[in-house]
Amino acid sequence: MEFAFPMNSTRPRLAPRKLPIQARSTHTVDALHAAAVQVLIREGLLRCTTTRIAARAGTSVGSLYQYYPNRDALLRAVLERHIGAIAAAVEAACRRHQGSSLAEMAAAIVRAYLAAKLRDPAESRALYAIADERDGASIAARGRERIAAALAEMLGSAADAQFEDIETVSAVVAAVLTGSVLIALRGPAADGLIERLGTELVTLMTAYLRASAKSNPKGVTMPETRPRRGRRSPPPP
Q: What is the pLDDT of residues 191-223, one digit of tens each?
A: 567 778 899 999 999 999 999 998 545 444 433
| pLDDT grade for 229, boundaries at 50, 70 and 90 | very low
Q: What percent of the chain has pLDDT over 70?
A: 78
Let me know if 231 is exposed, middle or buried by CB neighbors in 10 A (0-12, 13-18, 19+).
Answer: exposed
Does 77 lie in the same domain as 53?
no
Does 117 lie in the same domain as 168?
yes
Q: Which of 79, 80, 114, 111 is nearest to 185 (CA)?
A: 114
Q: What is the mean pLDDT of the chain?
A: 84
- The model's pLDDT over 38-69, given as tens digits with 9 standing for 90+, comes to 999 999 999 999 999 999 999 999 999 999 99
Instruction: Give the pLDDT of residue 133.
Output: 83
Domain CATH number, residue 63: 1.10.10.60
Q: Does the model's pTM come out above 0.85?
A: no
Instruction: Give the pLDDT of residue 191.
Output: 59
Does 144 lie in the same domain as 65?
no
Q: How many residues does the chain have?
A: 237
| pLDDT grade for 12, boundaries at 50, 70 and 90 | very low
Domain range for residue 170? 73-212
Q: Cα–Cα distance between 16 and 9 in angstroms, integer?
A: 10
- The model's pLDDT over 138-171, given as tens digits with 9 standing for 90+, comes to 999 999 999 999 999 999 999 999 999 999 999 9
Q: Are 150 and 171 in contact (CB under 8 A)?
A: no
Does 82 lie in the same domain as 45?
no
